[in-house]
């Protein structure tokens, strides 16, 4: 089941809520998600398993990085058996949502619509957003939800379980994601970095975990790099007196400790890597394909 929608509507927040754990990073900046991330929700009570595919927000590509992100969306739509179109109740329905709805329809996917962020609207506003969503795809069922508070999620998830085709479990019931651990940890570092930086900078940031060791039973040591594209960006990420990189490191370490359930020593280096977003071989190695 693909999660499709404009950047920033809350696809990754929904994924985390649906699988009950942190699988995808979330930020208030659009175009946070770069890879297709599979999140697995297994409900032993009803013996259903839904594999969600969180996708980059659908947008017009402007460099090799965003071209690959858009290509991944198209490929995943083709390979999926159902789609959940996620809308932002506050923003209302716009051309980007219509484009996404058309892409799902052209892929021949049965779709449901989630109108997200209803915690930010009064009842009348929610009603108007639901109406606009229905107009977008009259045959689809529409669900008001808040991925943040969990409101509306049980009804939506129960409906989605009836939409997917029957078959054997694809993942072990305990598995939450197909994402390699080093990649999730790198993403947690990137999340800490983009949450603290502004304007165009988040798009220029990538994080890479270079080394993970466990010198003691209760301690994990991580060496990681944060890449930016120019030395002025590096100055921003390091910050005056190193204050920014310190804050990023503290935030990243906290979320990595929660993930690993271990104490973590995190060593962060900021590197300038010119035009990494246009380096095709590098994007391959980063698993952005």
Ligand X SMILES: Nc1nc2c(ncn2[C@@H]2O[C@H](COP(=O)(O)OP(=O)(O)OP(=O)(O)O)[C@@H](O)[C@H]2O)c(=O)[nH]1
Q: Which residues of this chain interact with Mg ion, rule CB under 5 A? A: 11-12, 32-33
- Of 57 and 152, the one with the shorter C-beta distance to Mg ion is 57
Q: Is 24 helix (H, G, I), strand (E, B) or coil?
A: coil
- Of 183 and 212, the one with the shorter C-beta distance to ligand X is 183
Alpha-carbon distance of 226 to 185, in angstroms, equals 12
CA 196 centroid distance within chain:
17
- Of 203 and 264, the one with the shorter C-beta distance to ligand X is 203
202 is in the binding site of which of Mg ion, ligand X, none (Cβ under 5 to 8 A by kind)?
A: none
Conformational region of residue 117, where left means phi above 0, alpha means psi within -120 to 50, and beta covers everything else: left
Alpha-carbon distance of 213 to 243, in angstroms, equals 26
Residue 140 has which token pair?
């689809």
Q: Residue 83: enclosing H or E segment and its boundaries? A: strand 83-88
Conformational region of residue 207, where left means phi above 0, alpha means psi within -120 to 50, and beta covers everything else: beta
Q: Is 192 helix (H, G, I), strand (E, B) or coil?
A: helix
Q: Min. distance of Cβ 11 from Mg ion in angstroms? A: 5
Q: Min. distance of Cβ 7 from Mg ion in angstroms? A: 8
Yes or no: say if 222 and 211 are a contact pair by the CB < 8 Å rule.
Answer: yes
Query: 196 vs 185, 228, 276, CA distance in Å?
Result: 17, 14, 21
- Of 73 and 238, the one with the shorter C-beta distance to ligand X is 73
Tell the burial category of 107 from Cβ atoms under 10 Å away from its Cβ (0-12, 13-18, 19+).
middle
- Of 148 and 254, the one with the shorter C-beta distance to ligand X is 148
Strand partners, 229: none
Q: Min. distance of Cβ 116 from ligand X in angstroms? A: 5
Q: Min. distance of Cβ 56 from Mg ion in angstroms? A: 7
100 is in the binding site of which of Mg ion, ligand X, none (Cβ under 5 to 8 A by kind)?
A: none
Residues at the interface with ligand X (CB under 6 A): 5, 7-13, 26-28, 30-33, 56-57, 116-117, 119-120, 146-148
166 is in the binding site of which of Mg ion, ligand X, none (Cβ under 5 to 8 A by kind)?
A: none
30 is in the binding site of which of Mg ion, ligand X, none (Cβ under 5 to 8 A by kind)?
A: ligand X
- Nearest position to ligand X, beta carbon: 57
DSSP letter at 110? -
42 is in the binding site of which of ligand X, Mg ion, none (Cβ under 5 to 8 A by kind)?
A: none
Q: Min. distance of Cβ 273 from Mg ion in angstroms? A: 23
Q: Min. distance of Cβ 223 from ligand X in angstroms? A: 27
């Amino acid at each position: 089941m693909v999660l499709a929608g404009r950047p920033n509507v809350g696809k990754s927040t929904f994924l985390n809520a649906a699988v009950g754990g942190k699988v995808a990073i979330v930020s208030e900046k659009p175009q946070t998600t770069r890879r297709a991330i599979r999140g697995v929700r297994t409900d032993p009570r009803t013996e259903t398993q839904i594999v969600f595919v969180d996708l980059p927000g659908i947008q017009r590509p402007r460099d090799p990085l965003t071209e690959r992100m858009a290509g991944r969306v198209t490929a995943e739509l083709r390979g999926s058996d159902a789609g959940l179109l996620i809308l932002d109740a506050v923003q209302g329905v716009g051309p980007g949502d219509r484009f996404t709805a058309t892409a799902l329809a052209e892929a021949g996917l049965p779709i449901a619509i989630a109108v997200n962020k209803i915690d930010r609207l009064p009842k009348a506003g929610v009603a108007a957003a639901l109406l606009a969503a229905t107009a977008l795809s009259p045959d689809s069922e529409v669900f008001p939800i808040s991925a943040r508070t969990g409101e509306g999620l049980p009804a939506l998830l129960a409906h989605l379980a009836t939409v997917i085709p029957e078959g054997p479990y694809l993942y072990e019931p305990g598995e939450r994601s197909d994402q390699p651990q080093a990649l999730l940890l790198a993403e947690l570092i990137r999340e800490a970095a983009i949450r603290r930086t502004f304007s165009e900078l988040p798009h220029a940031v990538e994080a890479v975990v270079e080394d993970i060791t466990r010198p003691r039973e209760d301690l994990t040591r991580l060496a990681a790099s944060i890449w930016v594209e120019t030395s002025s960006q590096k100055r921003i990420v390091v910050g005056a007196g190193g204050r920014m990189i310190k804050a990023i490191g503290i935030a990243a370490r906290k979320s990595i400790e929660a993930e690993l359930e271990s104490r973590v020593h995190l060593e962060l280096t900021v590197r300038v890597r010119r035009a990494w977003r246009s380096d095709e071989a590098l994007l391959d190695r980063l698993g952005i394909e």
